Amino acid sequence: MSVVGLGGIFFRAQDPDALTAWYKENLGVGAGCNASGEGDAGGGDAGEWYWNAVGGNTVFAPFKAATDYWPADKAFMMNLRVRELDALLEKLRAAGIAVRTEAEWDDPTTGRFARIHDPEGNPIELWEEPEQA
């Protein structure tokens, strides 16, 4: 018997309804969303309580308490797997969302990365996997 995947991400918010709407509008994440953006996302429709995500690898990695990988005042950082990172970043910038990229974050073997924060200051890393040959 073993764990077979991530079942959900739960976190506190000052305004859960507004934050839910922000994630849905800007990232297509949350209840009722299909990760493919095109109807069915790998086996079923999203429901009232869940987001139907596209399968792939998930990193599960506790970091040292003193890490500087994300802001010290936040206990976690979400990493969201994305497709078409450049188009998403353009959309986010057009919505007035600050986007941070660093050339040294990108690597042909691990992919490309960008960072944003949600309206409550939670850090989000956007990750586009490298293209498969």
Instruction: Tell whether domain 16-128 is in CATH 3.40.50.1000.
Output: no
> For the segment 108-133, what is each residue's pLDDT rounded down to a tens digit?
999 999 999 999 999 999 999 888 75
Q: For 56-107, what is each residue's pLDDT tens digit? A: 778 888 999 999 999 999 999 999 989 899 999 999 999 999 999 999 999 9
What pLDDT, on a 0 to 100 scale, did the predictor assign at position 57? 78
- Which helix (H) or strand (E) covers residue 92, if one does? helix 85-94
Read off the pTM: 0.83
Q: How far apart are CA 108 and CA 129, in angstroms?
A: 9
What are the domain boundaries of the chain? 16-128
